Amino acid sequence: MIEAQGVEFNYPAGSFALRLTSLGIAEGERVAVVGPSGGGKTTLLHLIAGILPPDRGRIRVHGMELTELGPDDRRDLRLLKLGLIFQDLELLEYLDLLDNVLLPYRVSPFLHLDREAKARAAHLLEAVGLGARLNDRPGRLSRGERQRVAFARALSTRPSLVLADEPTGNLDGATRDRVAALLFDHAEQSGATLVVVTHDPELVDRFDRVLDVRELP
């Protein structure tokens, strides 16, 4: 699902460098990404998502060589195959929660916004505990609630690869368990690959592999 070879990435300011000699993540594998703050976890996820281009080397995701794709194709790959839960949650304030979850369907001409997609979106919002607020705007939600909407949106397209950056960081214990269950159920049912940054020891235990950014392969 993910294959990186000889990757080097530097931020323009030159303050931080990430190197990946050879990393492979198999289809269906569930990987936790750990490491200290500032260690490069978010940067690694952005490289895999094709949001940041590497200075050197190649990254293949879902059989596609990211550096050979233009920005539009990389965006299509993200919309069609990837579920992203990043720290900047990017909810649109003028859409209600249901339409925020359905956003990939409104943006991509390749996804069909049919009855099943709508039912799935409503079901996902219910599953994260926001079923009574489908028609509310995100402006009134707490950080943790916004995170749950982003979660529902990431799973709405049945992505084969989920990239999540500390997705349970702002959630209380019960909500965290509910959201984690949803994530692992999705992986189980659709064979999706998970790459999840987390500091939560209980959550880390549930993954197949732990990738520490201080010791990248």
Query: 41 or 186, CB closer to ligand ADP?
Result: 41
100 near Mg ion (CB under 5 A)? no
Q: Residue 177 CB, nearest distance to ligand ADP (Å)?
A: 24
Which of Mg ion, ligand ADP, none is residue 53 near (CB under 5 to 8 Å by kind)? none
Structure-block tokens of residue 195: 């790459």
Query: 1 or 18, CB closer to ligand ADP?
Result: 18
Distance CA 66, CA 70 (A): 8
Instruction: Give exposure, 76-87, as e/b (b: 16+ Cβ within 10 Å).
Output: bbbbebbbbbbb
Q: Would you give the binding string for Mg ion spanning residues 30-69, x where CB under 5 A is met? A: -----------xx---------------------------
Residue 17 in contact with residue 34, Cβ under 8 Å? no
Query: 49 or 130, CB closer to ligand ADP?
Result: 49
DSSP 93-158: TTS-HHHHHTHHHHH-TTS---HHHHHHHHHHHHHTT-GGGTTS-GGG--HHHHHHHHHHHHHTT-
Q: Residue 136 CB, nearest distance to ligand ADP (Å)?
A: 30
Which of ligand ADP, Mg ion, none is residue 43 near (CB under 5 to 8 Å by kind)? ligand ADP
Query: 24 or 38, CB closer to Mg ion?
Result: 38
Residue 135 in contact with residue 94, Cβ under 8 Å? no
Q: Residue 13 CB, nearest distance to ligand ADP (Å)?
A: 5
Q: Which residues bind Mg ion (CB under 5 A)?
A: 41-42
